[in-house]
Structure 1
Amino acid sequence: MRCVYNRLPVYTGDISGVASALYELGGLIVIHDPSGCNSTYNTHDEVRWYQEASRIYISGLKESDAIMGNDGKFIDDIVQVALDQHPKFIALANSPIPYLNATDFSAICKKLEERLDIPAFYIPTNAMHDYTHGIALAFKALASHLSFEDYVPTKKAINILGVTPLDYTPSDTTALFKDIFHDYEVLSIWARDTSLKELQRSTSANVNIVVSSSGLRLAQYFERTYHIPYVLGSPIGDFKYKIFKAIEEAISTGKSQNPLLHKEVSNKHIIIGDAIISHSLGNALYTSYKMITPLEESKRIIRTGDLVSKDEEEIEQALSEAQTIIGDPMYQVLTTTPITPLPHLAFSGRLYLKSMPNILKGGDS
């Protein structure tokens, strides 16, 4: 696969994905990186930065530290902050420099746990992957270090997986999810407007609902480890009724369900973005459509005829046959067909933030 960007921006990177996934959970997120790189994250990728407290730190990696190694200072700095902030866990992520230097993050995490007696884990980022990959790795790492608690739901219970502002930006998103799934008890939403305590109830769910590709690895982990089936799909428009049916099927059979990929591929109607969100929207709007995505986790949820590509010329050729296109307005440079705008924070940043619709509202957005 070629990866050529001349006119388009690139999608948010894996490090920002980690920070977005863990932002609200009371942990200390430390990015091992030169000083100043935090500005990219907080000015482009994180809409909560100025409204909610953050425990995201940059190590301030110096050239001499990178060349000669200075893990002792890195550990001491983290311990000092942790003793002041009292985080519930410590998550380490890294930039390309410590990745290329083969910094032993597993050993660093072990040292931190010995000194602080709280969970510390490493998420293997390197800024060479997109945000979906970072979120997926962060969710799985957190789940593997959580102490889950027994909980007795009041009715059939679900978790909603794959919700961060990078895909679901409007502030009323979680309230809408809970309203749509009001017939079920929503134990947790990974991971927005939720707490670590709520996430610890996750293993008491009957089914997990995966609403973006970033949540699929976590769903598969829960299925493999705790035998919880999952359903793929976001409850957009009338497609929510297929999800409701799939939930009941998953509960009755104990098997995961994918109601997304049954419609035919058509070059006339194209949707660009995350695979689960795009397929859910396509199911809600069209009898046939084509999905285009450059996102890494999305390539696991495609049909023959969909396009997974990071090459502008290949995407441009696919768009040339379309009568209707739904996607971020930045893609307009690749086609003369007017794009129905669906701004994506992880692609165009805050450029269209004020006009961003909430797709869960359907025609009312």
Structure 2
Amino acid sequence: MKNVSKIIPCYAADTSGVCSALYEFGGMIVVHDASGCNSTYSTHDEPRWYDMRSDIYISALTETDAILGNDEKLIEDIVSAAKDRQPAFIALCGSPMPMMTGFDYEAVARDIQGRTGIPTFGLATNGTRSYISGAGMALEAIVREFVHDMPKEDFDGIAINIIGATPLDFGLTGAVENMKKLYSRPKMKVISSIGMGGTLDEIRKAASANVNLVVSYCGLPAARYMEKEFGIPYICGVPLGDVDMIQAGALSSFMYETAHDGISRMMAAMCRGRATDEKAERLVIGEAVLAGSIAFEWSIMTRHAVDVICPPDIDAELSPDKKDMPLYAEEDIKAYIKDRGIKEVVADPLYKYIIPEGCRLIELPHFAFSGRCFAKDMKDPTCNDFLDDLVLAINKKNE
């Protein structure tokens, strides 16, 4: 059976992506699902749950509610909770059951907003897509609701929004804080982080930026909306290491260029030097933007082509030659590695169970894939020693 995970786990679902993306903004997130399923979204896929409060609720959908379509009970429960909690907004998303019954998220959201006066949006998740889809919808909804046109920052430099950072990709490693420090330099200013490490008050000022830095595929829908509505171009990439590193320095240069010529760029894929038909013997598996950034740096270090596979992405064509492959099935990934003669792979430790014999695995934990199993081993990709550790791991494997 195709696309069934028999050996390795699947990635976190779109519902978890919604909860993660909106976790810190002071809203109320309601997942339309069966009673008891809240732990999946709030604890298994959410490392902030034990240290940071957030209003994440489950609708406690019963069999009778599902069969008879008792939407009024759900609406009344949300309205009652909203009057008590007074959230900044209400987000309603769902699981496979409301998908099968034909639940109308937009109509219910409009009804709730009419009764409460609180901004409400319905996000038609169904639990069958990856967190990339859910987080992307959630961040775009936040931008549509709270970002309005305003004058650009009046200073001699670039004003930046960081879009798409969540613990599902970056863990609790301090990555966003480091990115803010990295871009709080002369002639550089961070306006907001639309994702982890951000607030709604900051996001309301996001239209004053002149470039968006998209650090995960989750941020692309919001970035594309802001480009269309406010004329803010974007660039996709993660600054690996400090600004003196090759990749981080190149990313900063491209951000200046993007801000001034208004042309959006996929830096992580564009700069990997794949113009030749060289057969890659190295591979990175993971979320498209971070994996692409790692592949770029790895190709610089080895002076050879590096391929990228993006299992959680729906349409991850981030390079002109479309070599960032959204392979979903574990048998396809395994076959690709074997047939292409891949010798080294950077991926989550759980991929070791499908890596063919003779191929080396350099472990890079991904919270959206292996959850808490290797959370303590996650590394901040923006810290100074990230690339050094990667080089040491590669060299150790090659000994």
What TM-score, normalized to structure 2? 0.87
Question: How far apart, in 2, do the equivalents of 1:239 and 1:340 lie?
Answer: 20
Superposition RMSD in Å: 1.8
Equivalent residue, structure 2, for 1:186: 190
Change (3 A) 1:126 1:251: same
- 1:30-74: CA deviations, max 9, x gaps? 011110111112232000001011200000001111111211111
Are residues 1:300 and 2:317 paired?
yes
Contact 2:287–2:313 under 8 Å retained in 1 = no
Equivalent residue, structure 1, for 2:295: 282
Give 3-state SS (helix, strand or coil) of 1:4's partner: coil
Q: Please show how residues 311-326 of structure 1 align to structure 2 within 5 Å.
A: 311-320=329-338, 321-326=341-346
Q: CA deviation at 1:306?
A: 3.9
Contact 2:175–2:381 under 8 Å retained in 1 = no
Question: How far apart, in 2, do the equivalents of 1:156 and 1:271 lie?
Answer: 31
Change (3 A) 1:149 1:81: farther
Q: CA deviation at 1:291?
A: 0.5
Question: How far apart, in 2, do the equivalents of 1:266 and 1:307 lie?
Answer: 15
Query: Any gaps of 5 or more consecutive residues in structure 1?
Result: none
Equivalent residue, structure 2, for 1:328: 348
Question: How far apart, in 2, do the equivalents of 1:153 and 1:17 lie?
Answer: 35
Contact 1:261–1:279 under 8 Å retained in 2 = no
1:251 to 254, 259, 264: 259
Q: CA deviation at 1:4?
A: 3.2
Q: CA deviation at 1:2?
A: 4.1
Equivalent residue, structure 2, for 1:261: 270
Aligned amino acid, residue 170 of structure 1: L
2:382 to 340, 360, 364: 360
Question: How far apart, in 1, do the equivalents of 2:11 and 2:298 lie?
Answer: 26
1:345 to 367, 378, 382: 367
Contact 1:343–1:352 under 8 Å retained in 2 = yes
Change (3 A) 1:308 1:147: closer
Equivalent residue, structure 1, for 2:327: 309
Identity %: 36
Aligned amino acid, residue 343 of structure 1: P
Question: How far apart, in 1, do the equivalents of 2:234 and 2:280 lie?
Answer: 30
Question: How far apart, in 2, do the equivalents of 1:153 and 1:316 lie?
Answer: 52
Equivalent residue, structure 2, for 1:56: 56
Q: CA deviation at 1:339?
A: 1.0
Change (3 A) 1:135 1:153: farther
Aligned pair count?
365
- 1:270-306: CA deviations, max 9, x gaps? 1000111111111112131010111224623144444
Query: Any gaps of 5 or more consecutive residues in structure 2?
Result: 390-399
Change (3 A) 1:329 1:363: same
Question: How far apart, in 1, do the equivalents of 2:317 and 2:298 lie?
Answer: 22
- 1:170-191: CA deviations, max 9, x gaps? 3411111012212311111121
Q: CA deviation at 1:147?
A: 4.8
